[in-house]
Chain A
Amino acid sequence: MLSLIGKRLLFAIPSLIGVVIVTFLLTRALPGDPAAYFAGPAATKEAVDQIRKKLGFDKPLIEQFVRYTGDLAHGDLGTSLTTGQPVAAELRNRLPASAELTLLGLVVSIVIAIPLGVLAATRPGSWIDHLCRVTTTAGVSLPVFFTGLVLVYVFYFRLGWAPAPLGRLDVFYSAPPTVTGFYLIDTLIARDFEAFRSALSQLILPAVTLAIFSLAPIARMTRASMLAVLASDFVRTARASGLSPGKVIVTYAFRNAMLPVITTLSMVFSFLLGANVLVEKVFAWPGIGSYAVEALIASDFAPVQGFVLTMAVMYVLLNLLIDILYGVIDPRVRLEG
């Protein structure tokens, strides 16, 4: 197992190097001059040049790159010009917000989609199958920001059930001391149940928005995979042997149907990280997605590079995790590994 992990991580190095080079070149190729932008509305030409020199953008590209990689090796991702903070610190502060939201969204989605898919597969053509088809089609065809806005409009503005879309906590609660960075966990550690409730209620709408978007692939894949497994010989044998339908479906069929679902889950998770950008905008969520978009608009190189790099590392880790999960679920993969 350890050698598998080691080998996997080794394979990831070339792709990370590629990501570093490509993001560096791409951000430099963006139109817009950060020096002119940050010199402000009233700047003279000399002021702009002064700032360009201060930021090091007057140097040749290759020199800038060497400096960038040098800093990177020391764990320094540079400083954002728009927010004025070190990028590494900001990503560290913001990543838990995005991760908490994405994970909760994924959990909500799994809890709804997998039973829905299994039920749809066991009763093809029934009302539940149609329900599955309709919800998944609707979910995947609505853009996330639209779903988000509709949810805010209905549940906050009209009904007043949801709290104001003002980020992770109600304005009048203070954040719990940081342990994990996940407010749901940190508030419980701090035994601040009022803040826990507030954090949870702030999370519901954005998490549901993400869940609606990701229902479709999970439910459809579960259904398709279950249908294939249910039609196979070993299930027929199990049924013929007189095992109860529950045992056949849960113990034999479901476990075998899991592999493609897990693959889909990893894909969905990466989708969600992308979809997060828009959801964070709608719900004023202080995550890394909204951070990256704002930086991009301002031609602020360092955060964009930092964001892409973080994402790349997360993908690598995610894929590794999925590979390990395969081994847990299917012993055959373990043997080959």
Chain B
Amino acid sequence: MKRRDFLKSVSGLAAGALAPTAPAIWSPAKADARSETLLIVSEGGPNNLDIHGVGTNVPGYEVSWNCYDRLISHEMKSGPGGVPYYDRDKFKPELAEDFNIGDMSVTFKLRKNAKFHDGAPVTAKDVKWSLDRAVSVGGFPTFQMSAGSLTKPEQFVVVDDHTVRVDFLKKDRLTIPDLAVIVPCVVNSELVKKNASEKDPWGLEFTKQQTAGSGAYKVTKWTAGTEVVMERNDEWVSGPMPKIRRVIWRMVPQAGNRRALLERGDADISYELPFKDFQEMKANGKLNVVSLPFSNGIQYIGMNVTKPPFDNPKVRQAMAYAMPYQKIMDAVLFGLANPMFGAPKDKPTEVAWPQPTKYFTDMEKAKALLAEAGYANGFETTISFDLNFAGVNEPLCVLVQESLAQLGIKTTINKVPGANWRTELTKKEMPLFTNVFSGWLDYPEYFFYWCYHGNNSIFNTMSYKSPEMDKLIDGARIAAANGDTAAYDADVKGFVDLAFTDIPRIPLYQPFVNVAMQKNISGYQYWFHRRLDYRAMAKG
């Protein structure tokens, strides 16, 4: 008997003996508070309220997104299934009321009535200080800024109290999108400077504990690892007034309990549940379950191309034919992903990313390719995965192990603790592994620059180096900056084709972000950062 069945029968007995009970009773004041409050439950919470901080985790990004404003943001468009999806190509003013993109600079006019949470007006000085901070503090924020060729404080110029100009170092199509990600948020410079010290000139210790922005929400209580309480900023002018007055975000480590809280109607919204739960909740229809593909994201099997046997392209192709693609889709993901394999033979390569490969499971072909490469009797190798995502990675690796065994390849599974995964990736010594990469900026050349370029960034986990590939990627970046569509299309098609024939990493699928919410919650929007935007949400 399965655990679930056992639980069902146990509870069935208990429920049979007793009449169903009424839901919890609220006093009228509490009921009001409840209708204007959004209760979110998730596994992890923020470790820092400032995205510029040292080692701010992903839940921390959600706080930053909702509590700080940026100069510009994205418009929404209708995404898969009619869910609002951010529009990569359309920008709207946020803290800026207007902006003007020139040839080598962009000028922002700030809203004159915008105020920080403490009542201080938002000025061009604050904007410059915040952008200087983002490119100077080091670590992730600085890295993200550099992805849009924003690297020097001199690039940010105060024109007058309410006008800021950002100068371009070089033409780069990613500069404007990079100003709309989470990092270039505007911080209350006077308040933070007052709380900075010589050792901490950017006041990171201060903003770690409290929000100092002009955003639609402010954190009123934060108990690390337990809860975050955010209240609406009623003075917010950078967009329509949000409907949710208060957001309570509780950390509930047990996935089963999060599901129970949702199904009982006690929690409003949750993510980070096992795929099986999402699929079951989708099927029984009591809750709204939104599943949307990660923009610019792929789960893949990577191979270290610097060492035998994976230095041989034939072996890599054999591996690509030996992957149990459909089994992974069905048994691991319960269909909640976009397949990245099995495109028809005659399908032309598109100027898009992600797109499926033409590989499919074909053990005969894999055997033949292996024999050609001189490994007719297989070999021994190790497949590694990140235990933080064991729910997907572990069954996936077991399926791969089983499949490879048919080719005589003996695979040992190496489970790497989450804390250690980064270290292992940086070493670039794992022969075979599975991982996910997804870029905030949704452009093919951005993905390829990090994952396939010979400058060997941490995400080029395969240590893949090919002069031809580099030429195509660099070509696409230049063509994009100059608006040369024909050259751009040719280069993108070129690098996609090369990535599929050389196949240093085998794309498996495009993962979905899954969010489950009560039927009375509306206004969910998909953002590139895949976290919630409370500003658009409503209850009832």
With contacts A40-B55, A166-B261, A167-B250 taken as known, whether A34 is within 8 angstroms of B224 at the C-beta atoms is no
Q: A84 touching B33 by the CB < 8 A rule?
A: no
Of B7, B21, B143, B261, the residue contacting A153 (CB under 8 A) is B7
Residues in A with CB closer than 8 Å to B23 are 160
Total residue contacts A-B, CB cutoff 8 A: 171
- Cα A166 to Cα B254 with chains together (Å): 11
Smallest CB-CB separation from B205: which chain A residue? A84
Q: Does A299 contact B (CB under 8 A)?
A: yes
Q: B140 touching A42 by the CB < 8 A rule?
A: yes
Of A30, A39, A84, A282, the residue contacting B422 (CB under 8 A) is A39
Smallest CB-CB separation from A149: which chain B residue? B256
**CB 8 Å contact bits of B77-111 with A (1 = contact, 0 = none):** 00000000000000000000000000000000000
Stretch in contact with the other chain, from B301-309, B371-379, B413-421, B501-509: B413-421
Residues in B with CB closer than 8 Å to A286 are 223, 225-226
Q: A84 touching B253 by the CB < 8 A rule?
A: no
- Cα A46 to Cα B40 with chains together (Å): 36
Smallest CB-CB separation from A295: which chain B residue? B225
Q: Does A312 contact B (CB under 8 A)?
A: no
Q: Does B331 contact A (CB under 8 A)?
A: no
- Cα A291 to Cα B253 with chains together (Å): 11
Smallest CB-CB separation from A90: which chain B residue? B224
Q: B417 touching A32 by the CB < 8 A rule?
A: yes
- Cα A281 to Cα B11 with chains together (Å): 22
Residues in A with CB closer than 8 Å to B252 are 165-166, 284
- Cα A50 to Cα B140 with chains together (Å): 12
**CB 8 Å contact bits of A42-82 with B (1 = contact, 0 = none):** 11110110110010000000000000000000000000111
Q: A284 touching B140 by the CB < 8 A rule?
A: no
Stretch in contact with the other chain, from B153-161, B263-271, B521-529: B263-271
Stretch in contact with the other chain, from B12-20, B315-323, B401-409, B486-494: B12-20
Q: B143 touching A282 by the CB < 8 A rule?
A: no
Of B21, B208, B251, B423, the residue contacting A160 (CB under 8 A) is B21
Residues in A with CB closer than 8 Å to B352 are none
Q: A172 touching B257 by the CB < 8 A rule?
A: no
Q: A152 touching B257 by the CB < 8 A rule?
A: yes
Q: B224 touching A158 by the CB < 8 A rule?
A: no
Q: A84 touching B208 by the CB < 8 A rule?
A: yes
B521 to chain A, nearest CB (A): 16
- Cα A40 to Cα B459 with chains together (Å): 12
Residues in B with CB closer than 8 Å to A44 are 143, 457-458
Residues in B with CB closer than 8 Å to A178 are none
Q: B10 touching A154 by the CB < 8 A rule?
A: yes
B391 to chain A, nearest CB (A): 15
With contacts A32-B420, A33-B420, A51-B139 taken as known, whether A164 is within 8 angstroms of B56 at the C-beta atoms is no
Q: B140 touching A43 by the CB < 8 A rule?
A: yes
Q: A164 touching B266 by the CB < 8 A rule?
A: yes
* 24 A-B pairs in the complex with CB atoms less than 8 angstroms apart: A31-B420, A34-B419, A37-B55, A37-B419, A38-B54, A38-B55, A39-B140, A42-B458, A43-B140, A44-B143, A44-B457, A44-B458, A48-B422, A81-B55, A150-B7, A164-B261, A166-B41, A166-B252, A167-B227, A172-B34, A281-B254, A290-B253, A297-B417, A297-B418
